[in-house]
Amino acid sequence: MQRKDYLLNPVEHMKIKAPLTVDQLMRQFSGSGSFSAGRLAVACDIYEKMLRDDECTVFLALSGAVIPAGLRALVSDLIRRRLIDVVVCTGASMVHDAIEAVGGRHYKGSWLVDDRELYKYHIFRIYDVLVTEEDYVRLDYQLAELYSKIADERKGEPLSSREFTWELGKYLSDPQSILRSAYEMNVPIFMPAARDSEFGFIHWLHSSQQNRKNTLCLDAFKEVPEICNICSQSPKNGMIVIGGGVPRNTVQSAALASKKGMDYAVVVTMDRPETGGLSGSTLKETISWGKVKDEADKVMVIGEATMVFPLMAASVLERLGEEFQRKPKTSTGEN
Amino acid sequence: MQRKDYLLNPVEHMKIKAPLTVDQLMRQFSGSGSFSAGRLAVACDIYEKMLRDDECTVFLALSGAVIPAGLRALVSDLIRRRLIDVVVCTGASMVHDAIEAVGGRHYKGSWLVDDRELYKYHIFRIYDVLVTEEDYVRLDYQLAELYSKIADERKGEPLSSREFTWELGKYLSDPQSILRSAYEMNVPIFMPAARDSEFGFIHWLHSSQQNRKNTLCLDAFKEVPEICNICSQSPKNGMIVIGGGVPRNTVQSAALASKKGMDYAVVVTMDRPETGGLSGSTLKETISWGKVKDEADKVMVIGEATMVFPLMAASVLERLGEEFQRKPKTSTGEN
Amino acid sequence: MQRKDYLLNPVEHMKIKAPLTVDQLMRQFSGSGSFSAGRLAVACDIYEKMLRDDECTVFLALSGAVIPAGLRALVSDLIRRRLIDVVVCTGASMVHDAIEAVGGRHYKGSWLVDDRELYKYHIFRIYDVLVTEEDYVRLDYQLAELYSKIADERKGEPLSSREFTWELGKYLSDPQSILRSAYEMNVPIFMPAARDSEFGFIHWLHSSQQNRKNTLCLDAFKEVPEICNICSQSPKNGMIVIGGGVPRNTVQSAALASKKGMDYAVVVTMDRPETGGLSGSTLKETISWGKVKDEADKVMVIGEATMVFPLMAASVLERLGEEFQRKPKTSTGEN
Amino acid sequence: MQRKDYLLNPVEHMKIKAPLTVDQLMRQFSGSGSFSAGRLAVACDIYEKMLRDDECTVFLALSGAVIPAGLRALVSDLIRRRLIDVVVCTGASMVHDAIEAVGGRHYKGSWLVDDRELYKYHIFRIYDVLVTEEDYVRLDYQLAELYSKIADERKGEPLSSREFTWELGKYLSDPQSILRSAYEMNVPIFMPAARDSEFGFIHWLHSSQQNRKNTLCLDAFKEVPEICNICSQSPKNGMIVIGGGVPRNTVQSAALASKKGMDYAVVVTMDRPETGGLSGSTLKETISWGKVKDEADKVMVIGEATMVFPLMAASVLERLGEEFQRKPKTSTGEN
């Protein structure tokens, strides 16, 4: 590179006039182009580009506790507007979704409360969000019955986690539920670590019931070709990662195993690379594996998702406009 | 607390319809009320409250490199609209401001560039922002002359850093400059570590010039009663902290030494408390010292300031409306 | 508390004379007692206490990439010395272990290398550790055959992840292997997200082979009662958590579901609580759930595990002495 | 690079036998060579190399609250053994040192205490370390008198912060004091932000005393050529940075302004680069400025200093042996 090539784009300082729409603010972030504001603006550009690219299947990898913290309706709405094609998430995320679908709630609290008192009151804390044990118990009993029903219908034939979430979505009637929305829109939800959540303990409850004919069996490996085939059959693939952990790894590994590599990648995380863990690993590192293509549009935003992801969504929805339509992805198949 | 007291405020899941103004989004964050989104919404409420409280003097503590990264015009505009009464910042922040005031620029770059090549080209990198050595040199020579002029006018009488920034603001004519805006609006700017910046090296240049009659002397301690008196004479005090370091410590210590304690406090940082450093210390900790009052409205937002602070500003400006007027604080005195 | 109660333990400043053994250094950390050094000293005390408590079952929750980064022999040795009773880990950790067991290696690299070149050379990067594609491929083919053999022996009867790792340990002959050591010492290894690793893709390879009679089935839920019963049958339980993610959640949930609550807890992580994710959540938060007891000995060390865990191990091994013996835990059952 | 060049150094897994000396453990870290353990091992190698290089002046940049947390004696001892040639630190670090030198103490506490109660008891909290207001007050009155004495001796002639710390060291008699040790060993201590600490408020106390003839004046800029000349006159320079902030920036800037560039660099920090702040900036970034040479031995250890720095010191002291002698640096001048 020549010296002058480094000096092509002066920072345009943000001008904050009120009122600004979210996307107008994002344009200011884009002009400035630095640090997290600049990265966030790039993330919006990439998400918009994914959505306008007819060939691209959009994966959402979801970890952490953003669902109880207020992003449930947002994810659900994005699914219903076909702005997400495939979800890969932790079991806990869908447990939180289901708790609300069967009438439970999450409550605003504080991280400074007396946890011994909460314990006494059978209230559980997730940083500054609270949830009651009774809301868990209500879910437990409803789903234990559902497990038995599914097991009988399938006669013990193992399900993949995708089939399992499809059954959950079929069962839950709450239209705001992520599981329900995905079921109605034929958006697959994978939960590679479904066992590591209340779904696992509900299974224990279900399997220890007397007079049970069949036991639900979740085949851990069955989903591997399912998700890889989605990548493989889609001309292009893009991912939006919230957090890290198993969901990020599963999506990236599907891109690798299907020998496609992601064409678009946005990662929103607070984790850092120096521990060597997958969650904080850079997108530069993914290139060595072929998980994300070298030439992909990609960016990592260092920030907390309850703040960053709604900003991205609001900005991109504003750009797309109400009339924007995306076609369902045939590659995500039917159940 | 009773059990039911913990369960008063269910999380209202964010509904992201487009277009949303920034403050409409913030209302969604507020309803959800959790994690960083919830904290950011509280931060906006507190900043609004500070501004509507006629008795409150608003301190901005500014560290890090947010000025070259795009926040220069924003800070300048807030000063001109009287939405900040006192600034405490690193020397580097005002060096970056002055570089642009005398015709220099910052440039959008990448953290993945070849730093050896930048070195060869005399281009300096600040994460993903670039600045040329020649822009520093231009500033050096202009300010070295200004130092000599000030020294002659003052006949070697020592200045406080507040007086020094007032002289800088008087000299610079760029209306977008933070230093100039503060000068025009009579907003004091303190730089407790002025020496730790190009201002220190300019002094070296200035003091080694031949035929110099007087040398500019910056009295490090002279500002201590100046800033404490502002706190002391103001019925209430509030602070917005960007980053941490010396600016945060100076503002908090002024509240302590003046035996006032902050009535309002917003801290935006990515630092964490476990190192024991001041930058990541919690607002809870400040209570033990009396730096912030126990009953103060206060919140710490874990996030990067180029993203968080414009969001706060846009939201609060929208709430206040164009006609909103704040009176100048007599306590900040004149020069 | 009285005022004087806060002032009982003055900081004793560390005196660093050389040579110091690791435990002598830890005693200096203990006297000082602050920040991460103090927390680390407490972590050593807790691990020692767990091991000297005949009633306590010690769980190791392992995530991140510490195995390829040099902790493989350490974990293996701890298992062989009966200083860990149960392992819960990511699939990737055991893939890394198995790669070396069948002759592969990990290599020291740098995070600043050209990842496009690595891609071209079929070398994968894990922060600053490198591993070749051919070492993965060798494992793939060996294990695909093993899967078929197991499936035939079990005639398609589903395995839990614990049974699966037992089969792996039985197959691998390398005495330094974690899987092998655990097999020989009858230490159960749980991999709740086994599917999210090369083990999942090996299954794809295995299941698509022609002339295959049976397919290996990993029942995701089968391990839930297995791990809960270990907690339940042990008079006391303790956990050492490296990182966070699914392993930490699984161990904590087992303590919750078995209505025991951990009696001892050490968490080593770089994650932070403000995202609301499980990985960075405080031990204080776990009390509300009953995952860890209020009265438990517990500490969270903010640090990277390749540095912290060997320090802990070296310090505790020094305290215990060579002659120290721990009995096998009958609660961990046999295969 | 050829493919084989990437695969030269297999990870040698750490073998933890007890007892291990700290340096024996560090050799294990070195063989493994990855993540933080590997970086720490490199940091020890670099510090050893600096000390064995007769041409190198060793700078210690010290920020954060490591002195009250237990590193006071360590820093003092390193100065007395001539293993540090120049100190650059925050004012607070030396305030903490001086508090103990005049009979005060720091106390081990917890970050979970009731800060309102501490406030009532006039006890201040620094994460999990406590200090009383009365220990501050004792220092205040002693030093206010000292200020007056110095001012009279100097007849108002301004001091640099280096001269100021020299006066403090001369006054304090505690041999364990860092200030005293540096005074005795002729090691200069720079405090570029001296004003931002109790030293500033003591000045206020001193300057408001009646019957005072002269007022102590700390010339903020006077130290700039002092520190730059040290760099400039030394054939080689090395830095060990604890934390970041003003001390790191001052040391790096001295290397830049003296057109030398650091030949050795170790940074120990928990800050991250994405905020753009100096504290978390990478050593790669410093190359663009010429603050650290491209060819320098350099490493950044992501970890908390109360844990990392004693490890480094213990390991290097063990390598050097008791008989090791370093010559005083003539470049650091006399007072």
Minimal-distance CA residue of chain A relative to D112: A112
Q: Point out the residue among B14, B74, B108 whose CB comes nearest to the CB of A310.
A: B14
Note if B291 is an active site residue: yes
Minimal-distance CA residue of chain D relative to B307: D275
Reported as a single tens digit per residue, the pLDDT across C179-228 is: 999 999 999 999 999 999 999 999 999 999 888 889 999 999 999 999 99
How many CA atoms within 13 Å lie on the side-chain side of D94?
35
Contacts (Cβ under 8 Å, ≥6 apart) of C67: C75, C93, C94, C96, C97, C178
**Could you give the CA distance from residue C234 to residue C231 in angstroms, rounded to a whole number?**
5
**Could you give the CA distance from residue D102 to residue D96 in angstroms, rounded to a whole number?**
10
- CB B35 to CB C275 under 8 A? yes
Q: Which chains touch B (3 or more CB pairs under 8 A)?
A: A, C, D
**Could you give the CA distance from residue C310 to residue B139 in angstroms, rounded to a whole number?**
51
What is C248-317 written as a DSSP string?
HHHHHHHHHHTT--EEEEEEEES--GGG--STT--HHHHHHHTSEEEEEEEEEEES-HHHHHHHHHHHHH
Reported as a single tens digit per residue, the pLDDT across B284-319 is: 999 999 999 999 999 999 999 999 999 999 999 999
pLDDT band, residue A65 (cuts 50/70/90): very high
Q: Point out the residue among B129, B223, B288 whose CB comes nearest to the CB of D195.
A: B223
- CB B11 to CB A70 under 8 A? yes
Angle at C87 between CA C86 and CA C93, to 5 degrees: 165
The pLDDT score that the predictor gives to residue C213 is: 87
- CB C307 to CB D35 under 8 A? yes
Minimal-distance CA residue of chain D relative to A303: D274
The 8-class DSSP code of residue A175 comes to: T
pLDDT band, residue A335 (cuts 50/70/90): very low
Q: Point out the residue among C127, C158, C276 whose CB comes nearest to the CB of A217.
A: C158
Active site positions of A, annotated: 291
The pLDDT score that the predictor gives to residue D331 is: 63
The pLDDT score that the predictor gives to residue B34 is: 83
What is B61-109 written as a DSSP string?
EE-SSTIIIIIHHHHHHHHHTT--SEEEE-HHHHHHHHHHHTT---EE-
The 8-class DSSP code of residue A235 comes to: S
| Cβ count within 10 A of residue A276 | 25
| Cβ count within 10 A of residue D138 | 15
Active-site hit among D236, D291, D293, D329 = D291
The pLDDT score that the predictor gives to residue D335 is: 45
Burial group, residue D12, by CB count within 10 angstroms (0-12, 13-18, 19+): middle
Q: What is the ipTM of this complex?
A: 0.96
Minimal-distance CA residue of chain D relative to A37: D275
Q: Point out the residue among D105, D284, D306 whose CB comes nearest to the CB of C37.
A: D306
Q: Which ranges in chain D belong to alpha helices (H)?
A: 22-32, 35-52, 72-80, 91-101, 115-120, 133-154, 161-171, 178-185, 198-207, 223-233, 245-257, 283-289, 305-320
**Could you give the CA distance from residue C176 to residue B255 in angstroms, rounded to a whole number?**
60
- CB C314 to CB D7 under 8 A? no
Assign D142 to helix, strand or coil.
helix
Give the closest-approach CA distance of D150 to chain C in angstroms: 30
Which of C34, C35, C284 to probe by mutation at the B interface, max B CB count within 10 Å?
Answer: C35
Neighboring chain B residues of D281 at a CB cutoff of 8 Å = 126-127
Measure CA C159 to chain center. 21
How many CA atoms within 13 Å lie on the side-chain side of C20?
25
Strand segments, DSSP code E, in chain B are 56-62, 86-89, 107-108, 123-126, 129-132, 189-190, 236-242, 262-269, 292-302
User: Is the pLDDT confidence value at A212 over 90?
Assistant: no
- CB B276 to CB C302 under 8 A? no
Neighboring chain C residues of A115 at a CB cutoff of 8 Å = 284-285, 287-288, 294
Q: Number of residue pairs across A and D with CB atoms under 8 Å?
A: 18
**Could you give the CA distance from residue C122 to residue C133 in angstroms, rounded to a whole number?**
5
Strand segments, DSSP code E, in C127-176 are 129-132
The pLDDT score that the predictor gives to residue C331 is: 62
User: Among A128-132, B110-114, C141-145, D281-285, where is mean pLDDT lowest?
Assistant: B110-114
Angle at C260 between CA C255 and CA C261, to 5 degrees: 60
Neighboring chain B residues of C35 at a CB cutoff of 8 Å = 274-276
**Could you give the CA distance from residue D56 to residue D263 in angstroms, rounded to a whole number?**
8
Position B171, amino acid: Y
**Could you give the CA distance from residue A277 to residue C248 in angstroms, rounded to a whole number?**
14
- Domain extents for chain B? 12-332
Contacts (Cβ under 8 Å, ≥6 apart) of D261: D237, D255, D290, D291, D292, D293, D296
Minimal-distance CA residue of chain A relative to C244: A245
Which of C23, C25, C34 to probe by mutation at the D interface, max D CB count within 10 Å?
Answer: C34
- CB C304 to CB D306 under 8 A? no
Tokens of A119: 């314990």
The pLDDT score that the predictor gives to residue A211 is: 82
Contacts (Cβ under 8 Å, ≥6 apart) of D197: B249, D90, D91, D92, D94, D95, D191
Mean pLDDT of chain D: 96
Mean pLDDT of A268-289: 96
pLDDT band, residue A251 (cuts 50/70/90): very high
Reported as a single tens digit per residue, the pLDDT across A23-34 is: 999 999 998 878
Residue B268 vs residue A334, higher pLDDT:
B268
Strands B86-89 and B56-62, by their bridges, are parallel
**Could you give the CA distance from residue B182 to residue B239 in angstroms, rounded to a whole number?**
17
The 8-class DSSP code of residue A70 comes to: I
User: Is the pLDDT confidence value at A329 over 90?
Assistant: no
- CB A274 to CB D34 under 8 A? no
Which of A62, A112, A196, A223 to probe by mutation at the C interface, max C CB count within 10 Å?
Answer: A196
The pLDDT score that the predictor gives to residue D320 is: 97
The pLDDT score that the predictor gives to residue A331 is: 62
The answer to whether the CB of D276 falls within 8 A of the CB of B69 is yes
pLDDT band, residue D333 (cuts 50/70/90): low
Q: Point out the residue among C32, C36, C317 whose CB comes nearest to the CB of D304.
A: C36
Mean pLDDT of B40-50: 98
Mean pLDDT of chain B: 96
Residues above pLDDT 90, as percent of chain D: 93
Angle at C201 between CA C199 and CA C204, to 5 degrees: 115
Residues above pLDDT 70, as percent of chain C: 98
Place of tokens 């300082």: A13
User: Is the pLDDT confidence value at B333 over 60?
Assistant: no
**Could you give the CA distance from residue D321 to residue C19 in angstroms, rounded to a whole number?**
8
Neighboring chain C residues of A122 at a CB cutoff of 8 Å = none
Assign A101 to helix, strand or coil.
helix
Which of B35, B63, B127, B131 to probe by mutation at the A interface, max A CB count within 10 Å?
Answer: B35
Give the closest-approach CA distance of D274 to chain A in angstroms: 6
Q: Number of residue pairs across C and D with CB atoms under 8 Å?
A: 262
Query: What CATH number belongs to B12-332?
Result: 3.40.910.10
Q: Point out the residue among C16, C34, C321 whose CB comes nearest to the CB of D108.
A: C34
The answer to whether the CB of C259 falls within 8 A of the CB of C230 is no
Reported as a single tens digit per residue, the pLDDT across C100-149 is: 999 999 999 999 999 999 999 999 999 999 999 999 999 999 999 999 99
Minimal-distance CA residue of chain B relative to A97: B13
Angle at D201 between CA D197 and CA D202, to 5 degrees: 105
CATH of D37-322, one of 3.40.190.10, 3.40.910.10, 3.50.50.60, 3.60.15.10: 3.40.910.10
User: Is the pLDDT confidence value at D334 over 60?
Assistant: no
User: Is the pLDDT confidence value at A275 over 60?
Assistant: yes
Q: Point out the residue among C21, C28, C73 whose CB comes nearest to the CB of D20.
A: C21
**Could you give the CA distance from residue A182 to residue A169 in angstroms, rounded to a whole number?**
7
